[in-house]
């Protein structure tokens, strides 16, 4: 992508600001994209990935930051959407110097963008960033952080599944359905644990055999391979691994009634979302059902409370119910209903901003207890 493509990409996605961060001595090349701060300072993760070129990194950060605007809006957060990417291989490029350098660049934004852990990052990297700026979440508990978000993501997903069951079967008894879980990683395992607490039948598949074994030994799941995953007879398909899992190859194989899991970007394109709707399969829009994690980290900026984070994650059940109601009212697929609800909240807040004085969006006080 050439330089002229930056404004083009921003125009197409409706982005507010893109910041390039470059320190050749340290070898840091990072891009921060702030999509929309109508609801408040942008919040979204920092990803490190060995992009083929900077055009690919820009495309990714523009896409991801826009997604965060929708996710944060629907989650009811006082945050807009943003994201950052560092071009590099996490296996070798995740150094203290680079992370602290990124932290210094982040500090210059004065809280317009707040970062968090994403693909390729660890809590330890967030700690390095915290050395340089308070505008980082997902640090360890002893630093006033919220720790691993996965339990909150899983809790929110279970709350969302209850709404899906009601929509499809008219009841919300978790234990009365079977679940085919793809991916027994951090969030998958937390979800499995909660489903098994209800004595649900849970099938599990992971490319890592040790993770499958753990789910079998610890929680009594039934192991299946990636092919068998579609033939379990489970009513609920639960993607908790990679994106793009609902695609033209997998769609004809789906025999489930509900698709509801924590993975990001489950639909390879929105066409698949339309097709799920046509097939009568209830689809829980991914960014709505997996928002428990971002709800959790957002509380760090206000003084963290696990109790509040749990209560917020439970609200995902209501959000999902509202999505289904909107989809029915407008005769549209659920992915589009979620988008419309998110856009409506942003539009309402934009109106509010023009009529009432208050804290300007995008500006924030340094959170207490940090620096
Ligand atoms: P993770 O890396 O801990 O777990 C992912 C698991 O998926 C791993 O065990 C991996 O071996 C497995 N996997 C990869 N490819 C697979 C395949 N083709 N088939 C079966 N298993 C496969 O990651 P995580 O934190 O558990 O996140 C899982 C998904 O949920 C991701 O899409 C992530 O973006 C999303 N998500 C996670 C959180 C969170 O709080 N952890 C929050 C929101 C969204």
Query: What atom of ligand 1 comes closest to residue 118's alpha carbon?
Result: 34
Name which residue sits closest to atom 4 of ligand 1, judged by CA. Answer: 185
**Ligand 1 centroid vs 172 CA: distance in angstroms?**
25
Residue nearest to atom 34 of ligand 1 (CA): 264
190 and 279 share one domain: yes
Checking if the pLDDT of 371 tops 60, the result is no
Q: Whose CA is nearest to atom 32 of ligand 1?
A: 263
Provide the strand spans (E) within 168-300: 178-182, 201-205, 222-223, 236-239, 258-259, 282-283
What are the tokens at 1? 């992508």
Distance 243 CA to ligand 1 centre (A): 9
Clarify whether residues 192 and 101 are in a common domain: no
pLDDT, position 139 = 84
Number of domains in the chain: 2
Q: What is the pLDDT of residue 95?
A: 96
Same domain, 132 and 234: no
Residue 6's CB is within 10 A of a number of other CB atoms, namely 18
If pLDDT is split at 50, 70 and 90, which confidence band does 2 have? low
Q: How confident is the model at residue 249 (pLDDT cuts 50, 70, 90)?
A: very high
CB of 211 closer than 6 angstroms to any ligand 1 atom: yes
- Do 286 and 186 share a domain, yes or no? yes
Element (H, E) at 349: helix 334-355
Q: Tens digit of pLDDT for each residue in 273-319?
A: 999 999 999 999 999 999 999 999 999 988 889 999 999 999 999 99
Using the structure block, give the residue that is written with the tokens 């009634």. 257
Q: Give the pLDDT of residue 364.
A: 61
Identify the band that residue 15 occupies on the pLDDT scale cut at 50, 70 and 90: very high
**Residue 63 beta carbon below 6 angstroms from any ligand 1 atom:** no
Residue 359 above 60 pLDDT?
Answer: no
The whole-number pLDDT of residue 358 equals: 58
- Higher pLDDT residue, 301 or 170? 170
Q: Is the dihedral of CA 198, 202, 205, 208 positive or negative?
A: positive
Contact 21, 102 (CB under 8 A): yes
For residues 108 and 200, membership in a common domain is answered with: no
Mean pLDDT, residues 215-219 taken together: 98
Average pLDDT, the chain: 93
What is the per-residue pLDDT for 245?
95
> Which pLDDT score, from 0 to 100, does residue 67 have?
94
pTM, full prediction: 0.92
Q: How far apart are CA 19 and CA 244, in angstroms?
A: 28
Q: Answer yes or no: is pLDDT of 363 > 70.
A: no
Cα distance between residue 15 and residue 30, in whole Å? 17
336, part of any domain: yes
> In the predicted model, is pLDDT for residue 368 greater than 60?
no
State residue 73's pLDDT score: 98
The whole domain housing 235 covers 150-341
Q: Which of 312, 317, 343, 326 is nearest to 74 (CA)?
A: 343
Question: Is residue 360 one of the residues assigned to a domain?
Answer: no
In a domain, 363, yes or no: no
User: Which residue's C-alpha comes closest to atom 18 of ligand 1?
Assistant: 207
Active site residue 83: yes
Angle of CA points 299, 302, 305, to nearest 5°: 50
Q: How many CB atoms lie within 10 A of CB 189?
A: 24
Q: Is the CB of 183 under 6 A from ligand 1?
A: yes
Predicted local confidence at residue 243, as pLDDT: 86
Q: What is the pLDDT of residues 89-135, one digit of tens each?
A: 999 999 999 999 999 999 999 999 999 988 889 889 999 999 999 99
Closest Cα partner for 83 from 45, 121, 52?
A: 45
What's the confidence (pLDDT) of residue 123? 86
Residues 103 and 205 in one domain: no
Among residues 83, 94, 196, 201, the one annotated as catalytic is 83
Is pLDDT larger for residue 144 or for residue 335?
335
Query: What is the rounded CA–CA span in Å between residue 359 and residue 37?
Result: 12
51 and 174 in a common domain: no
Q: What is the CATH number of the domain that holds 213?
A: 3.40.50.720
Percentage of the residues of the chain whose pLDDT score is greater than 70: 94
Our answer on whether the CB atom of 119 is closer than 6 Å to any ligand 1 atom is: no
User: Buried (b) or exposed (e) across 78-107, using 16+ Cβ within 10 A?
Assistant: bbbbbbbbbbbebeebbeeebbbbbbebbb
Please, which residues bridge with residue 117 across strands? Answer: 46
Would the pLDDT of 40 be above 60?
A: yes
Look at residues 303, 235, 247 and name the one whose alpha carbon lies nearest to residue 275: 247
Tokens describing residue 146: 């919220």
197 Cα distance to chain centroid = 25
pLDDT computed for residue 61 by the predictor: 96
* CATH code where residue 11 lies: 3.40.50.10860
């Amino acid at each position: 992508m050439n330089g002229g493509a930056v404004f083009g990409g921003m125009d197409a996605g409706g982005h507010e600001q893109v910041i390039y961060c470059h320190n050749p001595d340290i070898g840091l090349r990072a891009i921060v994209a702030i999509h929309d701060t109508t609801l408040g300072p942008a919040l979204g993760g920092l990803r490190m990935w060995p992009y083929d070129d900077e055009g690919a990194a820009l495309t990714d950060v523009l896409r991801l930051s826009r997604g965060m605007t929708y996710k944060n809006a629907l989650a009811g957060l006082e945050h807009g959407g943003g994201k950052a990417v560092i071009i590099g291989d996490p296996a070798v490029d995740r150094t203290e110097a680079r992370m602290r350098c990124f932290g210094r660049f982040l500090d210059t934004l004065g809280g317009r963008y707040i970062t968090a852990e994403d693909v390729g990052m660890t809590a330890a990297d967030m700690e390095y960033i915290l050395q340089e700026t308070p505008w980082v979440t997902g640090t360890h508990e002893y630093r006033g952080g919220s720790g691993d978000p996965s339990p909150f993501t899983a809790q929110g997903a279970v709350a969302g599944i209850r709404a899906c069951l009601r929509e499809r079967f008219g009841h919300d008894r978790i234990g009365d359905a079977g679940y085919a879980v793809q991916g027994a990683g951090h969030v998958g395992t937390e979800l499995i644990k909660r489903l098994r607490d209800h004595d649900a039948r849970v099938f599990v598949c992971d490319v890592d055999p040790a993770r499958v074994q753990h789910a079998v030994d610890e929680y009594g799941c039934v192991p299946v391979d990636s092919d068998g995953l579609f033939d379990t007879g489970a009513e609920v398909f639960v993607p908790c691994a990679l994106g793009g899992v609902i695609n033209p190859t997998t769609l004809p194989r789906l025999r489930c009634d509900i698709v509801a899991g924590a993975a990001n970007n489950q639909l390879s394109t929105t066409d698949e979302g339309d097709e799920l709707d046509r097939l009568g399969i209830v689809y829980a829009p991914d960014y709505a059902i997996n928002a428990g994690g971002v709800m959790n980290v957002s509380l760090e900026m206000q003084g963290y409370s696990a109790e509040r984070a749990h209560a917020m994650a439970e609200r995902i059940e209501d959000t999902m119910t509202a999505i289904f109601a909107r989809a029915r009212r407008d005769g549209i697929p659920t992915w589009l209903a979620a988008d419309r609800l998110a856009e409506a909240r942003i539009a309402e807040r934009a109106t509010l901003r023009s009529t009432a004085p208050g804290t300007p969006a995008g500006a924030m006080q340094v959170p207490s207890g940090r620096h």
